[in-house]
Amino acid sequence: MSSGNEYGPGAIERFDHPRNRGALRDATGHARITGPCGDTMEIWIKSQDGRITEATFDTDGCGPTIASGSMATELAIGKGLTEAAQIRQEDIIEALGGLTEASRHCALLAANTLKAAVIDGLRQRTVETRQANRRATTCGECEQEDCSAKTAPPDETEEQRLERQALASRLCRIRHKVLVLSGKGGVGKSTVAVNLAVSLSLAGKRVGLLDVDIHGPSIPRMLGLEGQRLEVENQALVPLEIGDLKVVSIGLLLSGRSDAVIWRGPLKMGVIKQFLKDVEWGELDYLVIDSPPGTGDEPLSVCQLIPDADGAVIVTTPQEVALSDVRRCVNFCRQLRMSVLGVVENMSGFACPQCGQVTDIFKAGGGERMAGEMGVRFLGRIPIDPRIAQACDDGRPYVHHYAETLTARAFQQVIAPILGHGSKTGTGSEPTPDYDPENGFRRGACPRF
């Protein structure tokens, strides 16, 4: 890139030979802005399926304005509407190879005009109805009266509105969002989250599993995904898939399993928003979100970003030292007006793999008593089975590979109320022929893991 005292090669080329100049017929978005310097810029865009297919410009301005308008339209073609609206002055200058300090404002005029054309295109964009889920994917134009994208706070900027709509367009295709929380570490929360997600998938549901434990992502190891990376297609992250289960984790973006993530709150909020907004989850029946222990940044961010979440499953162990922290979790949910779907008492006794007898090592029944005291549902007890640890280390979903064990059947009992909750909401599930609350899943119901 050239210094601020000369024009870059891309700028010089476009002074006399600009690209994409002239009005565009049948444009789906258009804007015309006159800058403080007196130059006027016009940009037209044409989009299809939310992506810009053509973009042109015209201006009565000088050579740098012509070059900036040309480059702005070149950068916009092929991008999604939201992404094109985020093209900045610096992006245009960099693509041109540099502008002089006196002409940098020309790139700002081009960037602002492009953004205004995209906003105009979003306003004019007609709804394309999706067969799946019978919902419109263009936010704010669907038939749902309670759609949050239809109204905007009075102090919201257009950029904030675009970002909110991008998030809403992803989330509205996910019927049920379930958080998995714990008051403290070491209670087996991630193990419960993985097997809960797999159990729902075994019940014939389309399921996503999102690991937002930024500092200690363990989901990739538990599902045998270590060493694999998320890919980007059409400006969206593509989840890894195991059978019908889609998985996203910060661990799938790190270069090595020992890499440390040293981030403060705002950065964590940003990546969680990206996992929700920029991941191509597609149509899902359930999104299970594994949150780190406690009531800190990550669970708070999820609750703020998904105000319509179905609720939280809270994991505890029977000891009082864990139960006191779970009470805080319940109060955390209540303060944020998040429903508590129920409490799971993990490590509730040791199930002997030889005889099946259960021995209470860490007491038993504490989770159920606490749930009664707090007025929340008790989902069930999950006994310790040594094969759970081995399955997690081997990256093999326990509830599938050991489906006949007492502990696997306990997991199946835990999801029964969650499946029932989905049915009661009116957006949830059809009857599940492969699942029976007494006998669990039919063997071979979902052999893809």
Domain membership flag for residue 66: yes
Task: Report the CATH number at residue 117.
Answer: 3.90.1010.10
pLDDT digits (tens, 9 = 90+) for 67-96: 999 999 999 999 988 789 889 999 999 999
Look up the pTM and report it: 0.60
Contact 292, 298 (CB under 8 A): yes
For the chain, what is the domain count? 2
Q: What is the mean predicted confidence (pLDDT) over 412-425?
A: 69
285 with 426, same domain: the answer is yes
- Which letter, b or e, does each residue of 5-23 get, where b requires 16 or more Cβ atoms within 10 Å of its Cβ? eebbebbbbbeeebebeee
CA angle 165, 26, 87 (to 5 degrees): 45
Whether residue 144 is contained in a domain is answered as no
DSSP 364: S
Looking at the fold, whether 275 and 358 belong to one and the same domain comes out as yes
Domain limit, last residue, from 93, 124, 155 = 124
Report how far apart the first and last C-alpha atoms of the chain are (Å, whole number).
Answer: 50
- Residue 65 CA to residue 100 CA, distance in Å, equals 12
Counting beta carbons within 10 angstroms of the beta carbon of residue 122, is it exposed (0 to 12), middle (13 to 18) or buried (19 or more)? buried
Euclidean distance between CA atoms 255 and 188, whole angstroms: 26
pLDDT number for residue 131: 35
CA distance 8 to 2: 5
Instruction: Out of 106, 333, 392, 446, pick the active-site residue.
Output: 106
Residue pair 281/170 in contact (Cβ under 8 Å)? The answer is: yes
What domain range is 44 assigned to? 9-124
- 167-191: average pLDDT: 86
Residue from 2, 64, 73 nearest 35 by CA: 64
Residues 232 and 110 in one domain: no
Does residue 76 form part of some domain?
yes
| pLDDT band at residue 3 using 50, 70 and 90 as cut-offs | low
Q: Is 106 a catalytic residue?
A: yes
Q: What confidence category does residue 98 fall into, taking pLDDT thresholds of 50, 70 and 90?
A: very high
Domain shared by 114 and 189, yes or no: no
What is the number of other CB atoms lying within 10 angstroms of the CB of residue 91?
15
pLDDT digit string (tens) for 5-28?
A: 689 999 999 999 999 999 999 899
Confidence at residue 436, expressed as pLDDT on a 0 to 100 scale: 41
**Which pLDDT does position 422 carry in this prediction?**
52
Token duo for residue 144: 């749902």
The dihedral region occupied by 49, where left means phi > 0, alpha psi between -120 and 50, and beta the remainder, is: left
User: Does residue 151 sit within a domain?
Assistant: no
Considering the domain architecture, whether residues 240 and 91 belong to the same structural domain is answered as no
Same domain, yes or no: 25 and 80: yes
Do 69 and 202 belong together in one domain?
no
Name the one residue in this structure whose structure tokens are 């594994």: 290
Q: What is the model's pLDDT at position 216? A: 67
> Is 155 part of any domain?
no
Q: Which of 124, 153, 184 is the last residue of a domain?
A: 124
In a domain, 303, yes or no: yes
Answer yes or no: do 110 and 180 share one domain. Answer: no
In angstroms, the CA 17 to CA 8 distance is 14
**In this structure, are 183 and 56 located in the same domain?**
no
Are the C-beta atoms of 323 and 371 separated by less than 8 Å?
no
pLDDT at 424 over 50: no
Q: Is 172 a catalytic residue?
A: no
- Of 124, 149, 177, at which residue does a domain stop? 124
Q: Answer yes or no: is 146 within a domain.
A: no
As a whole number of angstroms, the distance between CA 439 and CA 449 comes to 20
CATH number at residue 232: 3.40.50.300
Of all residues in the chain, the percent with pLDDT exceeding 70 is 80
Residues 202 and 347 in one domain: yes
Q: Is residue 158 part of a domain?
A: no
Structure tokens given for 126 = 């007609």
**In the chain, pLDDT over 90 holds for what percent of residues?**
24
| Each residue's pLDDT tens digit, 360-370 | 877 777 888 88
Q: What is the spatial distance between Cα 349 and Cα 440, in angstroms, rounded to a whole number?
A: 20
Q: Is the pLDDT of residue 437 over 90?
A: no
**How far is Cα 370 from Cα 352, in angstroms, rounded to an integer?**
26
The torsion defined by the Cα of 231, 234, 239 and 245, in degrees rounded to 10, comes to: -140
249 & 397 share domain: yes
Which residues does 283 contact at the CB level (< 8 Å), separation at least 6? 132, 133, 173, 174, 206
193, 106: one domain: no
Q: What's the pLDDT band for 205 if we cut at 50, 70, 90?
A: confident
**Exposure string over 218-256, b if 16+ CB within 10 A, otherwise e:** bbbbbbebeeeebeeeeebbbbbebebbbbbbbbbeeee
